[in-house]
Amino acid sequence: MEDRSLWEEFKKGIIDENPLLFMMIGLCAALAVSTKFENTLFMGGAVIFVLVFSNFVISLIRNTIPTEMRIPIFIVVIASFVTIADLTMQAYFRAAYKRLGVWIPLIVVNCLILGRAEAFASRNKIFKSIIDGLGMGLGYTFAILLAGFLRELLGTGKIVLFEKTIISLGSYDPARIFIMFPGAFLTFAFLIVLINWLRGVK
Amino acid sequence: MIKELINKIITLFVVCLLASGGLAFTYAATKEKIEKERLREQLEAAEKALPQAENFQEFKVEKRGNVGAVYKGEKNGEVVGYAVQVSPRGFGGPINLMVGIDPSGKVVGIKVVEHLETPGLGGEIEKDWFRNQFVGKSLKDKLKVKEDIDAIMGATISSRGVTEGVREALEFFKSQLEGR
């Protein structure tokens, strides 16, 4: 693998190798959580936190873990950070925590986190791993923010953030399908088209 | 061979030790705040469900069915009603409801504390128009969706869940709290 610059390692997660829209991993949680823009904000934050810290720790101990035990150890590390995020949200962001429900603990099995741990953090230096985590996390977050924004706006006619309606489409009759399951797939299909266009593939 | 095995055991042990340490620390650091928030939520809900009460006291009852906590609401030393917390089954999971009941067994108000329903569909159970339907209801009413309760379009299960929860709260009141 060529030695990429730090900026390239960061940038790749955002468009060229966007985890959700290009690599298409971690879709399950994204589909479920993007019914409301505010949810995606917190989910994105949690994913970035877990990804950056677990990449950091895994990269830190990468030379001391025996190969045969790496997956269980990755899981222990990832699960610990997810639990920390879970407890912190429960204490300080209770409203969002209640809405996100089971999806926060499910970050443990989000392929993105385990995937980056195995593919990158366990083979690269600490700082680079942190940057990779940050880039991937931001790419994931941008994707779900966009999906959440579109789905909430088109599906309910407004965007409600922290109990304040910040955008309203007035007399628009909402297309409820967007907040239901088929709408999730539709929205993501369009976002994938968008990413492919941004990547230059026609 | 044995040396490698011991090495692996030690590594795994250390990693788990550090993880548990970090978790124990976070748990201890957030425990009080979480409990405070939970209680605050309950009391806020009780206030919304039973607005005429000025203070609330947790009323120790045996938990039955979906009924969780009960709060006795008082004003000027007199009992003005009870706020019964009930968690009926919804579409996405249990719906945490607080039902305010006056001494005559009529619903004063309900507040949705927590739910996992779909925003925009089942999530509409939080709306005033839906919750106000239950005001004044008692066990004398049918309390049935599509009869005396209007369901949310596209969210029948959520609507039914809340209705069943209100019924259960009223039944609990009748059997355990009436006349106390």
Q: Model confidence over B6-33: pLDDT tens digits?
A: 888 888 888 889 999 999 999 999 999 9
Question: Nearest CA to B175 among B53, B64, B60?
Answer: B64
Length of chain B: 180
Would the pLDDT of B177 be above 80?
A: no
Determine if residue B143 is left, alpha or beta; phi over 0 gives left, psi from -120 to 50 gives alpha, anything else beta.
left
Contacts for A168 with CB less than 8 Å, ≥ 6 apart:
A157, A158, A159
Nearest-CA distance from A32 to chain B in Å? 9
Cα–Cα dist A60/B76, whole Å: 63
Cα distances (angstroms) measured from residue B157 to each of A136, B117, B144: 38, 10, 12
Mean pLDDT of B114-126: 85
Burial status of residue B88 (CB atoms within 10 A of its CB: 0-12, 13-18, 19 or more):
buried
Q: What is the pLDDT of residue A201?
A: 66
Nearest-CA distance from B23 to chain A in Å? 6
pLDDT digits (tens, 9 = 90+) for A85-111: 999 999 999 888 888 888 999 999 888
Among B26, B34, B120, whose Cβ lies nearest the Cβ of A156? B120
List chain B residues with CB under 8 Å of A152: 119-120
Q: Are A47 and A53 in contact (CB under 8 A)?
A: no
Q: Does A161 touch chain B (CB under 8 A)?
A: no
pLDDT digits (tens, 9 = 90+) for B157-169: 999 999 999 999 9
Q: Are B63 and B85 in contact (CB under 8 A)?
A: no
Q: What is the pLDDT of residue A3?
A: 60
Contact between A101 and B33 using a beta-carbon 8 Å cutoff: no
Mean pLDDT of B98-124: 88
CA-nearest residue to A67 within chain B is B8
Q: What is the pLDDT of residue A162?
A: 85
ipTM of the complex in this document: 0.72
Instruction: Give the range among A57-71, A127-141, B56-70, B73-87 with minimum mean pLDDT.
Output: B56-70
Average pLDDT, chain B: 88
- Mark out chain B residues that contact chain A at CB-CB < 8 A: 4, 7-8, 11-12, 15-16, 19, 22-23, 26-27, 30, 33-34, 37, 41, 92-93, 114-116, 118-121, 154
Candidates B9, B32, B37: best to mutate against A (most CBs of A within 10 A) is: B37
List chain A residues with CB under 8 Å of B12: 69, 72-73
The two tokens of residue B11 are 């590594």
List chain B residues with CB under 8 Å of A72: 12
Cα distances (angstroms) measured from residue A13 to each of A19, A95, A195, B26: 7, 30, 12, 30
- Splitting chain A (202 residues) into consecutive groups of 10 residues, what average pLDDT does each group show? 74 88 90 92 95 93 85 92 93 87 89 90 90 93 94 89 83 86 93 90 59
Contact between A98 and B114 using a beta-carbon 8 Å cutoff: yes
Question: Nearest CA to B168 among B110, B115, B113?
Answer: B110
Q: What is the pLDDT of residue A55?
A: 94
Mean pLDDT of B38-44: 85
Of the pLDDT bands very low, low, confident and very high (cuts 50, 70, 90), residue B79 is confident
Size of interface A-B (CB pairs under 8 A): 74
Would the pLDDT of B86 be above 80?
A: yes
